[in-house]
Amino acid sequence: MPRWLIPLIILLVLIIVVEVYTFQAFKTISKSKLVRFSFLAISVATYVYFFLTVLTYDRSKGQTPEFQMAMGILLTVSIPKLVIIFMLFGEDIYRWIVKAISAISNGETQPLPTRRKFISQIALGLAAIPFAGFIYGIIQGKYNYKVLKYSLTFKDLPEAFDGFTITQISDIHSGSFTNKEKIKYGVDLINEQNSDIMLFTGDIVNNKADEMDNWIDVFDKLEAKGGKFSILGNHDYGDYMDWKNPQDKVDNFQQVKDIHKKIGFDLLLDEHRYLEKDGQKIALLGVENWGKGFNQAGDLQRASTNVKQEDFKILMSHDPSHWEYKVKQDPFNYQLTLSGHTHGLQMGIEIPGWLKWSPSKYVYKQWAGLYNEAGRYINVNRGFGYHAFPGRVGIWPEITVIELKKG
């Protein structure tokens, strides 16, 4: 038996279980053949469209908007079904308990109680919430840019940099974009922050440099009075492509690096720059991608060459796992690290001051927002663009503004 056949069989079994369970909810609340047929038709069409897209799209083009849309439709239809399954499975446990109690009490086997209509109605009502959320996320949520502002105080910050402001953006993923006016709006919103410097923390494309061709004239409008600096992310290396020959990948990587210069960013490749103000300075360091389980090209020691331990340091490192496993305990003391990468999985629930949850938290300890351990900070930007899923649900695209204060 081919090795790929077992996962396929498991997947098909899971799909059948999901569809049978979900169909029970529709069957309970409605006897209309039209309702039942519509449910089956939508489910079949979704799976056919997704698998045809996956099996036929050209992998040499990377992850295309067409592939992302197929993924988006699959998630929009499938996630609400998980809500229904959760509710009906809970009811099935209740039904079997009732059957068992009846059998023990009466000494004879009783038929399994029928499903209760109101449980199915509640399940479908709850499922409508994520269904509507995913539709909004695909149409508008991915452009629902949020400006998040933080003020951080450091005792060792040079006096001249008291009140210094940083705008951080991350994960542009230009190969996913389809609406130029919406992206222009996002760029204008970034410029409105009028920060001293602008820092971009990686993933300018999905895979290929030419994904940025139609967006150069948008992103070259980004402005910062004290300069714009950037690093690479895991997607910028072209590792997720089927290249026709190795040289194509090498050439593409150089073209990706060239993009940063075209839009006015100083790309730091395991390097640092000193920012000076009124005779005082802070160190800005940028490393290549280093991620747990991903490309680990970044060399923190090389980036720190000729930087003094007593210098105030801002580190740009795309993947927050770098901070967790290497940076935060480094005795060289990197006071502030800026990352991206996670996107907060582009879906979750956030109620400021009350709740912040996404499946991303089960993969990354630092997955969205600001974290502090022993006086060292990391901000994980939720990303400007989107990838894989062509939308955002609850985890909105982010523009971060950080003000440095002298303690």
Tell me the percentage of the chain whose pLDDT exceeds 70: 97
Q: Does the pLDDT at position 213 exceed 90?
A: yes
Lowest average pLDDT, out of 21-30, 182-191, 208-217, goes to 21-30
Q: What is the mean predicted confidence (pLDDT) over 193-203?
A: 98
Lowest average pLDDT, out of 31-45, 141-155, 252-266, 309-323, goes to 31-45
CA–CA gap between residue 248 and residue 346 (Å, rounded): 31
CA quadruple 354, 359, 362, 366: dihedral positive or negative?
Answer: negative
Which class is 144-406 in CATH? alpha beta
Q: What is the mean predicted confidence (pLDDT) over 117-136?
A: 92
Q: Select the more confidently predicted residue: 288 or 56.
A: 288
Show the tokens assigned to 402: 């950080």
Radius of gyration of the CA atoms of the chain, in A: 25
* pLDDT band at residue 285 using 50, 70 and 90 as cut-offs: very high
pTM of the model: 0.91
SS3 for 374?
Answer: coil
Q: Select the more confidently predicted residue: 65 or 206.
A: 206
**C-beta of residue 167 within 8 angstroms of C-beta of residue 399:** yes
Q: Which helix (H) or strand (E) holds 276?
A: strand 271-277
**C-beta of residue 231 within 8 angstroms of C-beta of residue 268:** yes
Q: What is the mean predicted confidence (pLDDT) over 326-344?
A: 96
Domain ranges of the chain: 5-139, 144-406
The per-residue DSSP string of 358-395 comes to -GGGGT-SS-SEEEEETTEEEEE---SS--SSSS-BSS
CA–CA gap between residue 107 and residue 280 (Å, rounded): 87
CA–CA gap between residue 34 and residue 53 (Å, rounded): 28
Q: What is the mean predicted confidence (pLDDT) over 303-331?
A: 96
Residue 358, class by beta-carbon neighbours within 10 Å (0-12 exposed, 13-18 middle, 19+ buried)?
buried
